């Protein structure tokens, strides 16, 4: 699908471009990290944990923009592996505090190298990227705040 000047098409294309590029990045990183078993979502988790120290699952959920029920099993596996720590809070028995381990930090450091190196190879124009990222952030805010219109028709399963 190419960019036409038809407004109707453009509306549909923004989400398609996002959808599509997201999967391209996913394949790219899964290839880059292949030997390691690290995935992009796990990378995001390690980034957040290293940056903002131990935190509860719900806090991490908010930072990474991923639902807590998605993180829950993921964190369990990462803890079993040894990349993160995971323990019930004493203050509030409902909460589970997760933090990065030295092993996790090591993995993260290496992943960062991969990304930095790969990024240079991509040859992306920095200025364009900054503009685009502002647009993406702005758009994400709008989408998150919006209440989408609903139209119903016989369901497709």
Partner DNA sequence: TTAAATTAAATCGTATACGATACAATCGTA
Partner DNA sequence: TACGATTGTATCGTATACGATTTAATTTAA
Q: Contact residues for DNA (CB under 7 A)?
A: 19, 23, 26-27, 30-31, 37, 39-42, 56-59, 61, 65-70, 72-77, 89, 91-97, 157
When the beta carbons of 9 and 88 are compared against a second copy, the nearer one is 9
87 binds, among a second copy, DNA, none (CB under 5 to 8 A by kind): none
What is the dihedral sign for C-alpha 18, 19, 22, 28? negative
Shortest Å, Cβ 91 to a second copy: 23
Euclidean distance between CA atoms 49 and 58, whole angstroms = 13
Single out the residue of 65, 71, 52, 67 nearest to residue 136, CA to CA.
65
127 binds, among a second copy, DNA, none (CB under 5 to 8 A by kind): none
142 binds, among a second copy, DNA, none (CB under 5 to 8 A by kind): a second copy
Shortest Å, Cβ 129 to DNA: 21
Q: Which two tokens stand for residue 1?
A: 């699908």
Shortest Å, Cβ 22 to DNA: 8
CA distance readout (Å), 107 to 4, 47, 78, 136: 43, 10, 12, 28
The yes or no reply on residue 72 touching a second copy (CB under 8 A) is no
Helix (H/G/I), strand (E/B), else coil: 20: helix
Is residue 95 within 8 Å of residue 56, measured between CB atoms? yes
Helix (H/G/I), strand (E/B), else coil: 148: coil
When the beta carbons of 62 and 130 are compared against DNA, the nearer one is 62
Q: Which of 90, 91, 93, 121 binds a second copy (CB under 8 A)?
A: 121
Euclidean distance between CA atoms 99 and 60, whole angstroms = 10
How many residues at the interface with a second copy, by CB under 8 A?
95
């Amino acid at each position: 699908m190419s960019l036409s000047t038809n407004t109707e098409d453009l509306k549909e294309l923004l989400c398609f471009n996002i959808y599509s590029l997201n999967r391209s990045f996913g394949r790219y990183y899964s290839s880059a990290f292949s030997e390691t078993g690290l995935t992009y979502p796990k990378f995001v988790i390690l980034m957040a944990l290293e940056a903002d120290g131990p935190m509860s699952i719900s806090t991490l959920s908010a930072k990474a923009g991923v639902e807590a029920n998605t993180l829950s099993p993921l964190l369990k596996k990462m803890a079993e592996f040894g990349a993160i720590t995971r323990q019930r809070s004493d203050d509030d028995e409902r909460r589970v505090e997760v933090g990065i381990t030295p092993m996790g930090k090591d993995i993260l450091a290496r992943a960062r190298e991969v990304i930095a190196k790969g990024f240079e190879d991509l040859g992306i124009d920095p200025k364009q990227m900054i503009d685009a990222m502002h647009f993406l952030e702005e758009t994400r805010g709008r989408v998150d705040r919006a209440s989408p219109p609903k139209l119903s028709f016989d369901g497709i399963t």
